[in-house]
Amino acid sequence: MASLPLELINTCAALLLLLSFAMLSQRRVLTQVDLYAAQGLVLSVSIFITAWSTHQLHLYFSCGLTLLLKVLVLPLILRRLIHRLDANWETETLLNMPSVLLIGLLLVMFAFVLAQPISELATTLTHGTLGIALAVVMLAFLMMITRRKAVSQVVGFLAMENGLLFAAASTTYGMPMAVELGVGLDVLVGMIILGIFLFHIREQFESLDLSHLESLKED
C-alpha cells in the first residue's frame, strides 16, 4: 500500500478513537447519536480509502453498506425513537466523569498491549490500527457499563460493532461478502428489536432507567 492511503487510514483511526472518547464523556443522548453517525462516516471513509488503494471491489460495496446503515438508517431510527420516547435527558453515569475517562485511557493502553504481537505480524496495516479497533470496542463496553439509561446502552452496543468493522476492514480488507451482509442484517434487526423493547420497558416501568430492571435475583 502506498504511503498516502496509509497516512489517511491512520488519521481515520485516530479520529475514531477521539469520537469514542467524545461519546464516552457526552451526557446528552441525542449528541451521542450524532457522534455515532460521525463515527460511521469516518469508518466508511476509511473503508473507501482501503478499497481505492487495494482495488478490491467488494470493499466499495461494504463502504456503501456502512454509509447507508450507520450514517443514515440507524441514526435516523435512533433519533425518531428518542423523540417518540421523549428520552433526550442528560444521562448520569455511575462514576464521575474524570474517573470514567481515566479508566478509558487505561483500557486504550491495555488494548494496544493486547494487539501488539498481532500488529507486528500484519503486512496489511500500520501498527496500531488493530489496537485502536480493540480500544474502540472496549470504550464502547465501558460506556455500556457506566450508563444507567437504556438508550445509551443501545448506542454503546452499536459503537462496539463499529470498532469490529474497523478491525475487519483494516486488518483483512473486510470479511467475505456473505458474512458482511449477514452482520449488517443482524445489526439492523437487532436495532429494530431494541427499539420495540424500549417501548415495552417504558410501558411497564414508566421510565427508561435500568435500575428498575433489577428485580430478578436469587433470594
Partner 1 sequence: MVMLLLLSAPLAGALFLGFTGNRRWAPEVNVIVSAATFVAAIWLTGFTLTMGPVLFLGQQFFVDSFNVFLVALTAFVGFTTALFSRAYMRVEVQHARIGGGRLRLYHGLYQLFIFTMLLALTTNNLGILWVALEGAMLATVLLVSLYRTPGGIEAAWKYFILCGVGITLALFGTVLLYFAASKLLGSEGTNALLWTRLEQVRGQLDARVLSLAFVFLLVGYGTKVGLVPLHHWLPDAHAEGPAPVSAVLSGLLLNVALYAVVRCKILVAGAMHSGLAGNLMMGFGMLTMTLAAFLLWRQKDIKRLFAYSSVEHMGIATFAFGMGGPVANFAALLHMTVHSLTKSSLFFTAGQAAQWAGTQVMEKIRGLLKLNPSVGWALMLGTLAILGMPPFGVFTSEFLIVITAMRDHPWATPFLLLTFVVAFGAIFFRVQAIVFGETPQPQLPRGSRLVTVFAQLALVLMLGLYIPPHLAQWYRDAAQLIG
Cα three-residue angle 188-53-139, rounded to 5 degrees:
45
Closest approach, Cβ 186 to partner 1, in A, equals 5
Looking at beta carbons only, is 98 or 217 nearer to partner 1? 217
Q: What gap in Å lies between CA 87 and CA 169, rounded to an integer? A: 34
Query: Going residue by residue from 58 to 97, which x/- string records binding to partner 1, judged by CB under 8 A?
Result: ----------------------------------------
149 three-state secondary structure: strand
Q: How many beta carbons lie within 10 A of that of residue 106, not counting itself?
A: 12
Site for partner 1 in 120-159 (CB under 8 A): 121-122, 134, 137, 141, 144, 150, 153, 157
Nearer CB in complex with partner 1: 77/96: 77
117 interacts with partner 1 by CB under 8 A: yes
Counting contacts by CB under 8 A, is residue 215 touching partner 1? yes
Question: 46: exposed, middle or buried (C-beta count within 10 Å: 0-12, 13-18, 19+)?
Answer: buried
DSSP 24-75: HH--BHHHHHHHHHHHHHHHHHHHHHHHHHHT-HHHHHHHHHHIIIIIIIHH
The contact mask relative to partner 1 for 167-196 (x = CB under 8 A, - = no) is xx--xxx-xxxxx--xx-xx--xx--xx-x
Distance (Å, whole) CA 183 – CA 87: 28
What cell does 168 get? 475487519
Residue from the set 112, 114, 126, 195 that interacts with partner 1 by CB under 8 A? 114
The residues that touch partner 1, with contacts defined as CB under 8 A, are 114, 117-118, 121-122, 134, 137, 141, 144, 150, 153, 157, 160-161, 164, 167-168, 171-173, 175-179, 182-183, 185-186, 189-190, 193-194, 196-197, 200-201, 203-205, 210, 212-216, 218-219
